[in-house]
């Protein structure tokens, strides 16, 4: 079965850093583009960062550009999000997404909570 399991979330102070991980199994990880989405209270889910299947291309939302870094290790079937200079508005549930673009197949994790608060 397909599984995407996020980890690394928690409570962090403004200006702090955290690294999220997404462990994947049950599909050919190296053929899928991977993304991080987030959903803040009362808001729609939004794309935060995306990385191509082999990791050569990355894209970021303007709100996180320069502060977040997405990466992946295909040998470990794992994707990461390094988050720095965190702000209260970064508070959200962060979701891992896998997409096989030729057929638009999407898989989702259950999310991990990141709370930025003094």
pLDDT single digits (tens) 80-95: 999 999 999 999 999 9
Using the Cα atoms of residue 27, residue 98, residue 76 and residue 4 in order, give the sign of their dihedral. Answer: negative
Residue 21 confidence (pLDDT): 98
Average pLDDT of the residues of the chain: 97
Using the Cα atoms of residue 95, residue 10, residue 48 and residue 33 in order, give the sign of their dihedral. Answer: negative
Residue 107 confidence (pLDDT): 98
Residue 51 confidence (pLDDT): 98
The answer to whether residues 64 and 47 touch, using CB atoms and an 8 Å cutoff, is no
The band of 103, judged by pLDDT with boundaries at 50, 70 and 90, is: very high
Taking CA atoms, 80 is separated from 65, 70, 103, 117, in Å, by 15, 6, 24, 22
Selection from 93, 111, 108, 98 nearest residue 44 by Cα: 93
Retrieve residue 89's tokens: 């508005």
CA 50/CA 8 separation, integer angstroms: 18
The answer to whether residues 22 and 109 touch, using CB atoms and an 8 Å cutoff, is yes
CA 33/CA 105 separation, integer angstroms: 10
């Amino acid at each position: 079965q397909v599984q995407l399991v996020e980890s690394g979330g928690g409570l962090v102070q403004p200006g702090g850093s955290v690294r999220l991980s997404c462990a994947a199994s049950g599909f050919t990880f190296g053929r899928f583009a991977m993304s991080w989405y987030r959903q803040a209270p009362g808001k729609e889910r939004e794309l935060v960062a995306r990385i191509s299947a082999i990791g050569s291309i990355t894209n970021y939302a303007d709100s996180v550009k320069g502060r977040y870094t997405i990466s992946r290790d295909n040998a470990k079937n794992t994707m990461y999000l390094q988050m720095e200079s965190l702000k209260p508005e970064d508070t959200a549930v962060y979701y891992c997404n896998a997409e096989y673009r030729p057929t638009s197949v999407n898989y989702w994790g259950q999310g991990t909570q990141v709370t930025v608060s003094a």
